């Protein structure tokens, strides 16, 4: 041990070779510990709605607006504040409009620059100089630093300031400078972003969201069931591929695959036209309001049906291959009587709403036809070899996981599967039983194996496990007894469509249970929270996202347009700044266009869930803990220098 410590100190002394250098670093780190904690932003269930996502990212769920309020208080009208906020969110677009209306642009530039610099000063004051410097846009780094740093030596600050601003305007750089300042404010307002799952499916732009996340300065992701579905598809798992395409078809979003990811769907389209040419495919009507011509609509519903039938077949094969999944009862194709058009489910007979299954051989209902097989082979290759998709999935793998413990909060997308008694529910994974945190970790390791395992068998298990995570009863990301896709397409009886939620969801007011979950993940019962998404909060029915006196927050972002329309669901996002936790309730997002034009902000209401007694500092956070460790190590090094154990490297 002593030897290890000596070696470690030697290494450290290479980085801090003198007493002076080690001391400076200790002082710097100590200074960081005493700064206010950075703002964390939590978003979930974005479901491909890239415009709404982008807006919430820009407004920091109300954080930018709060900064403006802090700086200008009563000295600015609410309208002006909103205009300034909109400018900060959409500087380029907003200025285009202003230029058309404003008569004296020079005055406008002056006032605006002054205002932006004030907001910028306030947002930057929470951080060290070095951190702010790293965030500065290179073109304006020097001048911004000048403007946002207090200059006690300069007595006539106003004229110093004015001369800089006048020069910027005179040489025609005002617009670029306004854009740079606005983006800097956005960048500094939120220090770290958490995405609590479900970036993909239902909306039109998940690939755009992924690109934005890759650019974002600091983010972690807790995978949602839809994200793992896409990961499985990218890994070449056929059940996942079929589901991904089915959901894209269902929402009129096949463009995501064709244009976004360059996956060729022509073979599927041809096959669908040939096979279901005269079939009205009434069970496969689209959801949402895709911008389609009647012909496009016709083609899409046929593709929707074609891929759904393929899905039921390949899923049947996966279920047979993996008896451990215990999903035999989800295999329903062999329960259809193709002559009478009845299907038997749980001992009851139901009439099928669709009776046209030209590719299903009643003797071998789960076998793909030769054409279907050919399509799946091509799709598998296309998913595996799509560069953009693979890049997006690698990002999910690198920045994400199934859960995260961060600054005393436990984050996951769905739930921790529980028994009816509120105990951790054991789930069998390839012959062994896991629960709670162990279950999470085992499943996550299989997801990674699905991409990286050398052993082909393990890799295949990993891939199949991704499909299971999407819809399995024991999946913490799904948290329901079954996914009733078959019933929802083919049976009229709504009772059969019901998917029963895991007992977890009805026990969130039970403090003993909640503490049990927290303890399972190594967290104490006090000062900690569970943050999850996945279940839309039906505010119309009086549902509340805050449970267990504020210990649990279910913050489905409610971004999904199709869901908003049907149930009046409100979305929630969460902010955790140095003063506490703030829940933001959102109204439906109309469009980026409206946000700029009408200056409407979808963030409507802020509910303070928890206000800390003492402002939280970096020293109180996880990073603070690491910094304190570094300080301790450096102090040991200092001691070694001073006692002569290690010589300075002068």
Residues that bind ligand FBP in the complex, under the rule CB under 6 A: 198, 202, 225-226, 480, 483-485, 499, 534
| DSSP for residue 61 | G
User: Taking contact as CB under 5 A, which single stretch among the options 80-88, 281-289, 419-427, 530-538 is the one that binds Mn ion?
Assistant: 530-538
Is the Cβ–Cβ distance between 136 and 184 less than 8 Å? yes
Q: Which does 480 bind (CB under 5 to 8 A by kind): ligand FBP, Mn ion, none?
A: ligand FBP
Q: Which is nearer to ligand FBP, 25 or 473 (CB)?
A: 473
Is the Cβ–Cβ distance between 127 and 182 less than 8 Å? no
556 binds Mn ion (CB under 5 A): no
Q: What are the residues facing 493 on neighbouring strands?
A: none
Least Å distance, CB 483 to ligand FBP, is 5
Task: State which H helix or E strand residue 583 sits in.
Answer: strand 580-586
Q: Which does 354 bind (CB under 5 to 8 A by kind): ligand FBP, Mn ion, none?
A: none
Q: Which does 392 bind (CB under 5 to 8 A by kind): Mn ion, ligand FBP, none?
A: none
Q: Which is nearer to ligand FBP, 198 or 460 (CB)?
A: 198
User: Taking contact as CB under 5 A, which single stretch among the options 128-136, 222-230, 390-398, 452-460 is the one that binds Mn ion?
Assistant: 222-230
Least Å distance, CB 111 to ligand FBP, is 45
Q: Which is nearer to ligand FBP, 480 or 561 (CB)?
A: 480
Phi and psi (nearest 5°) for 614?
Answer: -120, 135
Least Å distance, CB 236 to Mn ion, is 23
- Interface residue with Mn ion, options 225, 253, 528, 573 (CB under 5 A): 225
Q: Which is nearer to ligand FBP, 112 or 243 (CB)?
A: 243
Q: Which does 112 bind (CB under 5 to 8 A by kind): Mn ion, ligand FBP, none?
A: none
Closest by CA to 158, choosing from 117, 189, 188, 191, is 117
Degrees (nearest 5) of the Cα angle 51, 54, 55? 85
Cα–Cα distance list, 65 to 73, 86, 119, 552, 573 (Å): 11, 9, 10, 26, 15
Q: Which is nearer to ligand FBP, 441 or 499 (CB)?
A: 499
Degrees (nearest 5) of the Cα angle 499, 505, 511? 165
User: Taking contact as CB under 5 A, which single stretch among the options 194-202, 347-355, 428-436, 570-578 is the one that binds Mn ion?
Assistant: 194-202
Q: What is the largest CA-CA distance in the chain?
A: 93
198 binds Mn ion (CB under 5 A): yes
Q: Which does 499 bind (CB under 5 to 8 A by kind): Mn ion, ligand FBP, none?
A: ligand FBP
The tokens describing 406, both together, are 């961060």
How far is 529 from 245, CA to CA, in rounded Å? 36
How far is 518 from 512, CA to CA, in rounded Å? 10
Which residue number is nearest to Mn ion in terms of Cβ?
534
Least Å distance, CB 486 to ligand FBP, is 10
Q: Which is nearer to ligand FBP, 485 or 577 (CB)?
A: 485
Q: Which is nearer to ligand FBP, 566 or 626 (CB)?
A: 566
Residue 494, Cα to own-chain centre: how many angstroms? 32
Q: Which does 359 bind (CB under 5 to 8 A by kind): ligand FBP, Mn ion, none?
A: none
Q: Which is nearer to ligand FBP, 50 or 480 (CB)?
A: 480
Residues 6+ apart with CB under 8 A from 330: 315, 319, 482, 483, 486
- Interface residue with Mn ion, options 534, 561, 586, 603 (CB under 5 A): 534
How far is 45 from 385, CA to CA, in rounded Å? 27
Q: Which is nearer to ligand FBP, 109 or 284 (CB)?
A: 284
Neighbours of 436 (CB within 10 A): 21
Least Å distance, CB 565 to ligand FBP, is 12
Least Å distance, CB 198 to ligand FBP, is 6
Q: Which is nearer to Mn ion, 40 or 198 (CB)?
A: 198
Least Å distance, CB 85 to ligand FBP, is 31
194 binds Mn ion (CB under 5 A): no
3-state secondary structure of 410: strand
Q: Which does 483 bind (CB under 5 to 8 A by kind): ligand FBP, Mn ion, none?
A: ligand FBP
Sheet bearing 409-412, strands edge to edge: 403-406, 409-412, 529-532, 552-554, 546-547
For the chain, give the number of residues.
650
The helices-and-strands tally (H runs, E runs) of the chain is 26, 17
Q: What are the residues facing 586 on neighbouring strands?
A: 571, 603
Q: Which is nearer to ligand FBP, 499 or 520 (CB)?
A: 499
Is the Cβ–Cβ distance between 444 and 454 less than 8 Å? no
Q: What are the residues facing 571 on neighbouring strands?
A: 586
Least Å distance, CB 571 to ligand FBP, is 13
How far is 322 from 269, CA to CA, in rounded Å? 31
Is the Cβ–Cβ distance between 93 and 55 less than 8 Å? no
Q: Which is nearer to ligand FBP, 202 or 305 (CB)?
A: 202
The full DSSP string for 435-458 is -HHHHHHHHHHHHHHHHH-SSHHH
How far is 445 from 456, CA to CA, in rounded Å? 15
Bridge-based pairing state of the strands 427-429 and 348-351: unpaired
Q: Is 457 exposed, middle or buried (0-12, 13-18, 19+ CB in 10 A)?
A: exposed
Q: Which is nearer to Mn ion, 190 or 537 (CB)?
A: 537
User: Taking contact as CB under 5 A, which single stretch among the options 83-91, 218-226, 395-403, 578-586 is the one that binds Mn ion?
Assistant: 218-226
Least Å distance, CB 563 to ligand FBP, is 7
Least Å distance, CB 519 to Mn ion, is 25
224 binds Mn ion (CB under 5 A): yes
Is the Cβ–Cβ distance between 198 and 48 less than 8 Å? no
User: Taking contact as CB under 5 A, which single stretch among the options 27-35, 147-155, 219-227, 420-428 is the one that binds Mn ion?
Assistant: 219-227
User: Taking contact as CB under 5 A, which single stretch among the options 32-40, 190-198, 383-391, 449-457 is the one that binds Mn ion?
Assistant: 190-198
Least Å distance, CB 570 to ligand FBP, is 16
Least Å distance, CB 198 to Mn ion, is 4
Least Å distance, CB 455 to Mn ion, is 30
Least Å distance, CB 638 to Mn ion, is 51
Q: Which does 449 bind (CB under 5 to 8 A by kind): ligand FBP, Mn ion, none?
A: none
**Where does 16-144 show beta strands of DSSP type E?**
40-43
Question: For the CA atoms of 452, 455, 461, 467, what is the dihedral angle to 10 degrees?
Answer: 30
User: Taking contact as CB under 5 A, which single stretch among the options 13-21, 374-382, 403-411, 534-542 is the one that binds Mn ion?
Assistant: 534-542
Q: Which is nearer to ligand FBP, 37 or 480 (CB)?
A: 480
3-state secondary structure of 42: strand
Q: Is 172 exposed, middle or buried (0-12, 13-18, 19+ CB in 10 A)?
A: exposed
Q: Which is nearer to Mn ion, 223 or 490 (CB)?
A: 223
Phi and psi (nearest 5°) for 41?
Answer: -125, 130
407 binds Mn ion (CB under 5 A): no
Binding site for Mn ion (CB under 5 A): 198, 224-225, 534
């Amino acid at each position: 041990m002593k030897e290890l410590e000596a070696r470690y100190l030697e290494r450290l002394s290479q980085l801090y070779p003198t007493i002076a250098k080690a001391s400076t670093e200790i002082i710097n780190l100590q200074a960081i510990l005493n700064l206010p904690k950075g703002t964390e932003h939590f978003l979930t269930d974005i479901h491909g709605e890239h415009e709404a996502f982008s807006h919430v990212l820009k407004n920091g769920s109300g954080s930018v607006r709060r900064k403006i309020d802090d700086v200008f208080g009563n000295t600015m009208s609410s309208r002006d504040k909103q205009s300034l906020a909109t400018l900060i969110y959409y500087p380029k677009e907003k200025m285009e409009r202003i230029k058309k209306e404003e008569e004296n642009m020079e005055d406008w530039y002056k006032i605006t620059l002054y205002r932006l610099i004030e907001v910028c000063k306030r947002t930057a004051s929470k951080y060290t100089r070095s951190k702010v410097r790293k965030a500065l846009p290179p073109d304006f780094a020097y001048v911004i630093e000048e403007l946002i740093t207090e200059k006690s030596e300069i007595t006539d600050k106003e004229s110093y300031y004015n001369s800089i601003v006048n020069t910027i305007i005179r040489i025609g750089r005002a617009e670029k400078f306004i854009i740079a300042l606005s983006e800097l404010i956005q960048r500094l307002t939120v220090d770290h972003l958490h995405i609590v799952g479900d970036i993909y499916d239902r909306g039109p732009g998940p690939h755009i969201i992924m690109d934005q996340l890759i650019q974002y300065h600091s983010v972690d992701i807790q995978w949602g069931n839809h994200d793992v579905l896409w990961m499985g598809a990218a890994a070449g798992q056929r059940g996942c591929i079929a589901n991904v395409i089915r959901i894209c078809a269902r929402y009129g979003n096949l463009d995501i695959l064709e244009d976004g990811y360059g996956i060729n769907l022509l073979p599927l389209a041809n096959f669908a036209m040939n096979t279901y040419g005269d079939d009205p495919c009434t069970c496969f009507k689209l959801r949402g309001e895709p911008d389609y011509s009647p012909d496009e609509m016709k083609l899409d519903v046929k593709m929707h049906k074609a891929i759904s039938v393929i899905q039921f077949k390949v899923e049947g094969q996966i279920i047979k291959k993996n008896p451990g999944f215990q999903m035999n009862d989800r295999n329903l194709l062999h329960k259809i009587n193709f002559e009478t058009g009845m299907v038997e489910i749980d001992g009851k007979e139901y009439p099928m709403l669709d009776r046209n299954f030209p590719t299903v051989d009643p003797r071998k209902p789960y076998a793909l036809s030769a054409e279907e097989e050919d399509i799946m082979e091509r799709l598998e290759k296309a998913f595996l070899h799509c560069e953009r998709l693979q890049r997006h999935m690698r990002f999910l793998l690198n920045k994400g996981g199934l859960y995260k413990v961060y600054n005393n909060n436990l984050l996951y997308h769905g739930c921790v599967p529980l028994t009816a008694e509120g105990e951790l529910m054991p789930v069998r994974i390839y012959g062994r039983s896991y629960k709670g945190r162990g279950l999470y970790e085992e499943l996550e390791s299989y997801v990674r194996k699905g991409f990286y395992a050398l052993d082909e068998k393990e890799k295949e298990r990993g891939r199949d496990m991704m499909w299971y995570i999407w819809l399995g009863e024991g999946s913490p990301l799904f948290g329901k007894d079954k996914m009733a896709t078959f019933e929802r397409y083919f049976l009229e009886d709504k009772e059969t469509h019901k998917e029963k939620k895991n007992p977890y969801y009805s026990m969130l007011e039970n403090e003993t249970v909640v503490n049990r979950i927290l303890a399972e993940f190594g967290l104490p019962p006090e000062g900690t929270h569970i943050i999850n998404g996945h279940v839309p909060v039906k505010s119309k029915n009086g549902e509340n996202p805050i449970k267990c006196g504020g210990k649990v927050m279910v913050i489905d972002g409610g971004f999904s347009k199709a869901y908003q329309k049907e149930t009046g669901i409100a979305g929630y996002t969460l902010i955790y700044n140095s003063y506490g936790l703030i829940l933001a309730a959102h109204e439906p997002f109309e469009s980026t266009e409206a946000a700029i034009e009408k200056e409407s902000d979808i963030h409507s209401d802020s509910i303070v869930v928890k206000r800390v007694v003492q402002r939280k500092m970096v020293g109180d956070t996880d990073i603070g803990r690491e910094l304190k460790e570094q300080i301790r190590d450096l102090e040991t090094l200092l001691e070694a220098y001073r006692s002569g154990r290690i010589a300075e490297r002068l």
